[in-house]
Amino acid sequence: MAHFGARHFGIFTISGGAGDFLPYPQQQDIMAQTLELPLPDTLTRIVGIHQSDIIIRSALVTAIADLRANPWLLDYVFASLPQDTLTWKEYGEKSVQQAKQWFLRTNIPVKIVPVLNELTLPCITISLVSSSEVTNEATIGDVHSEAFEQSGQPWPALTTPFSPTSYNQSTGMMAIPTLPDDIYVAPGMYIIDKVGRPHEILEVVDSLVLKIQPGTVADFRDSVLKSGRSGLVTSIESSSFRESYRIGVHVGGEPAPLVWLHSIVVFILMRYKEALLEARGFERTTHGSSDFTRDTQFESELAFSRYIELNGHVRQYWPKAVASPIDAVIMDPIRVSGENASVKVADAGVDPDEALWVGDLDTINPARRK
> What's the pLDDT tens digit per position in 133-162?
888 877 776 666 566 666 656 677 888 899
- DSSP E strand boundaries for the chain: 7-9, 12-14, 21-23, 110-112, 123-133, 143-150, 166-168, 173-175, 190-192, 198-200, 203-206, 209-211, 224-226, 233-252, 283-289, 293-294, 303-323, 335-339, 342-346
Compute the distance between CA of residue 253 and CA of residue 256 in angstroms, rounded to an integer.
9
16 phi-psi bin (left φ>0, alpha ψ -120 to 50, beta other): left
pLDDT at 5: 36
Q: What is the mean pLDDT of the chain?
A: 76
Question: Looking at residues 239-262, what average pLDDT do you find?
Answer: 90
Compute the distance between CA of residue 257 and CA of residue 99 in angstroms, rounded to an integer.
7
Question: Which tops the pLDDT comparison, 329 or 347?
Answer: 329
pLDDT at 137: 75
For residue range 69-86, what is the model confidence (pLDDT) as tens digits?
A: 999 999 899 887 777 666
Question: Looking at residues 290-319, what average pLDDT do you find?
Answer: 83
Compute the distance between CA of residue 312 and CA of residue 129 in angstroms, rounded to an integer.
12
Instruction: Tell me the percentage of the chain whose pLDDT exceeds 90.
Output: 34
The secondary structure of residue 34, as a DSSP letter, is P
pLDDT band at residue 365 under the 50/70/90 scheme: low
Compute the distance between CA of residue 7 and CA of residue 117 in angstroms, rounded to an integer.
15
Question: Looking at residues 317-340, what average pLDDT do you find?
Answer: 61
pLDDT band at residue 349 under the 50/70/90 scheme: low
Which of 195-199, 317-321, 343-347 is modeled with the greatest confidence?
Answer: 195-199
Query: CA 116, 117, 119 angle in degrees (round to 5)?
Result: 65
Question: Looking at residues 258-281, what average pLDDT do you find?
Answer: 92
CB neighbour list of residue 338: distance below 8 Å, 6 or more residues apart: 344
The burial class, CB within 10 Å (0-12 / 13-18 / 19+), for 131 is middle
pLDDT at 214: 93
For residue range 90-133, what is the model confidence (pLDDT) as tens digits?
A: 666 778 888 899 999 999 999 997 766 677 889 999 999 999 98
Least confident of 10-24, 70-84, 341-355: 10-24
Q: Is the pLDDT of residue 25 over 50?
A: no
Angle between helix 256-271 and helix 52-69 axes, rounded to 10 deg: 110
Q: Is the pLDDT of residue 271 over 80?
A: yes
Beta bridge partners of 318: 237
Please state the separation of Cα 158 from the chain's center in Å. Answer: 33
Residues making up the chain, counted from first to last: 370
Largest CA distance in the chain: 109
pLDDT band at residue 56 under the 50/70/90 scheme: very high
pLDDT band at residue 370 under the 50/70/90 scheme: very low
The pair phi, psi for residue 53, each rounded to 5°, is -65, -40
3-state secondary structure of 126: strand
pLDDT at 312: 94
